């Protein structure tokens, strides 16, 4: 009988202690982790970079280039420490993955044996498809300020037999932030 009383008492005490630990409410913590980005300035969207008319004599030997024409990609409201990676997408011209192929508009009056080279701010040719992930840092940019990345474009002879005609090129780019 004594053992039954002790067992009953022990279970009663355990039950009371569990009731003392019971929750009366809950706290739900929510958050969203994100990578800080920038805004692409409207001048940098759907831009046209006119390279003007070029004399065929300027591109008579493979590797010859036309004069470079500068253009900028502008970003605004960048968070300090944001890194932007640009990939310039298009079709490589021939075997040169640093030259973009001319658009094929289905006409017989297109130029041939020439392509477009885009160079970064250091004068290095951008890889078509960006396999080298051209790294642009905005780590020094002030929040709310404009960050400008200068580039240049020029035509490049692919061989010694450049033919005259239209030389339009469409290049798309995408930005990834980290």
CB neighbour class for 47 (10 Å; exposed up to 12, middle 13-18, buried from 19): exposed
Tell me whether residue 26 is in a domain: no
Burial of 118 (0-12, 13-18, 19+ CB in 10 A): buried
CA dist 174 and 69 (Å) reads 21
For residues 160, 161, 164, 168, the Cα torsion angle rounded to the nearest 10 degrees is -70
The answer, yes or no, to whether residue 141 has pLDDT greater than 60, is: no
- Is residue 107, in this structure, part of any structural domain at all? yes
- Is residue 90 a part of any domain in this protein? yes
- Would 104 be classed as within a structural domain? yes
Domain with 59 in it: what CATH number?
2.60.40.1090
Residue 55: the pLDDT is: 94
Domain that holds residue 46: 39-177
What are 57-112's pLDDT values in tens digits? 999 999 999 999 999 988 888 777 777 778 889 999 988 999 999 998 777 778 99
Q: Are 98 and 155 a contacting pair, CB within 8 Å?
A: no
Nearest Cα residue to 35 out of 88, 73, 81, 87: 81
Distance between CA 109 and CA 103 in Å, rounded? 12
Residue 25 lies in a domain: no
Q: Is residue 7 part of a domain?
A: no
Confidence label for 10 from pLDDT (cuts 50, 70 and 90): very low
Q: Which residues fall within 8 angstroms of residue 163, CB to CB, at 6 or more apart?
A: 111, 112, 113
Does residue 21 sit within a domain? Answer: no
Counting the structural domains of the chain, the total is 1
In-domain check, residue 63:
yes
- pTM (two decimals): 0.74
Read off the DSSP letter of residue 161: -
Q: Please tell me whether residue 69 adopts helix, strand or coil conformation.
A: strand
């Amino acid at each position: 009988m004594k053992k039954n009383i002790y067992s009953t008492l022990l279970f009663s005490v355990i039950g009371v202690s569990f009731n003392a630990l019971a929750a009366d409410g809950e706290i739900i913590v929510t958050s969203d982790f994100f990578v800080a980005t920038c805004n692409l300035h409207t001048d940098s969207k759907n831009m046209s970079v006119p390279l003007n008319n070029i004399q065929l004599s300027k591109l008579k030997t493979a590797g010859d280039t036309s004069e470079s024409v500068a253009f900028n990609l502008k970003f605004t409201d960048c968070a300090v420490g944001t890194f932007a990676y640009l990939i310039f997408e298009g079709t490589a011209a021939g075997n040169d993955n640093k030259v973009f192929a001319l658009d094929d508009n289905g006409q017989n009056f297109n130029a041939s044996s020439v392509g477009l080279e885009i160079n970064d701010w250091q004068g290095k040719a951008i890889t078509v498809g960006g396999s080298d992930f051209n790294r642009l840092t905005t780590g020094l940019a002030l929040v709310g300020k404009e960050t400008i990345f200068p580039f240049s474009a020029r035509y490049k002879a692919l061989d010694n037999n450049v033919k005259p005609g239209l030389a339009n090129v469409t290049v798309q780019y995408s930005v990834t932030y980290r």
